[in-house]
Structure 1
Amino acid sequence: MRELITSSKGPQPRFLYTPCVKNGPLGVVSGMVALDPDSGKLIDGDVATQTQRIFDNLHLALPDYGFAMSELMLARIYTTCMDQFPRVNEVWERQFTQIAPPARTSVGVSALPLGALVEIEFMFQQS
């Protein structure tokens, strides 16, 4: 059964979408950009700073979504800064020092919502 999940701990959606859709053991977290959890506005900063904020926001919301980072199966990274992708990778690698990283797709794009430099969507599967 499909379940639509929100979290009050992270930034609230700026547009009409469901932050997390869960169906049985599977869950998909909508693409996240680097929103400040208090103001809901895109943070200032380079691609690494924005990538870290996305992971920080994910960690805030995961308890409400009912998933753990160890259950992360797939991440899709979209960025307008492919020339700076090593900076994204630095942040990425810090997230997975204690657990195996998921499968990943990385895509260079010309623009992202709100002028973000990076957006990441996630797919989880509970064991």
Structure 2
Amino acid sequence: MNTTRNNRVCIQSDAIPAPRFRYSPCVQIGPVVQVSGMVALDAATGKLAEGGPAAETRVILANLKKAMPDYDVTLDDLLIARIFTTRFDAFAEINAAWEEVFTAEVIPPARTTVGVTALPLGATVEIEFSFVQS
């Protein structure tokens, strides 16, 4: 269920697991669409995906792509992605999974990667996304 208040639209997507905590998974104000940090929740089970940082990155990006039609955005609208990881030593694996989506045919967004000590649900990767609709 999407809700609107003061020009702010909170968007839900049934294509991905619902949030486990109280927050808006996606908020739009004008042309700006902000997607909250996503961890690698399996769409079928709602559990954290197994397989480490690369596998988690693949699930996050797959979930994002499933939700993008509900958020009314495309990869061309993606302005910046912020990656948080507890496994900075596995950055090459995370980047390899990233490059499976952001190939030479896709202009990649700006990106920041930050090493952290812990993430929700024991995840090793969390990514948040900022879009600007064209």
Normalized against structure 1, the TM-score is what?
A: 0.98
1:14 alignment partner, SS class: coil
Q: Which of the residues 87, 92, 106 maps onto 2:93?
A: 87
Normalized against structure 2, the TM-score is what?
A: 0.93
* 2:4 paired with 1:30: no
1:6 alignment partner, SS class: coil
Partner of 1:120: 127
CA shift for structure 1 position 93: 1.2
Partner of 1:105: 112
Cα shift readout 1:81-109 (whole Å, capped 9, x = no counterpart)? 00110001101111111211001110000
Q: Sequence identity, in percent?
A: 54
Cα shift readout 1:99-124 (whole Å, capped 9, x = no counterpart)? 11001110000000000010000000
CA shift for structure 1 position 40: 1.0
* 2:63 paired with 1:51: no
Q: Which of the residues 65, 68, 84 maps onto 2:71?
A: 65
1:12 alignment partner, SS class: coil
Structure 2 letter corresponding to 1:99:
V
CA shift for structure 1 position 11: 1.1
Rounded to whole Å, the distance in 2 between the matches of 1:25 and 1:108 is 30
Rounded to whole Å, the distance in 1 between the matches of 2:31 and 2:18 is 24
Rounded to whole Å, the distance in 1 between the matches of 2:20 and 2:63 is 14
Structure 1 letter corresponding to 2:77:
E
Where structure 1 has 5 or more consecutive residues not aligned to the other structure, the ranges are none
Rounded to whole Å, the distance in 1 between the matches of 2:98 and 2:49 is 18
Deviation >4 Å, runs of 4+: none
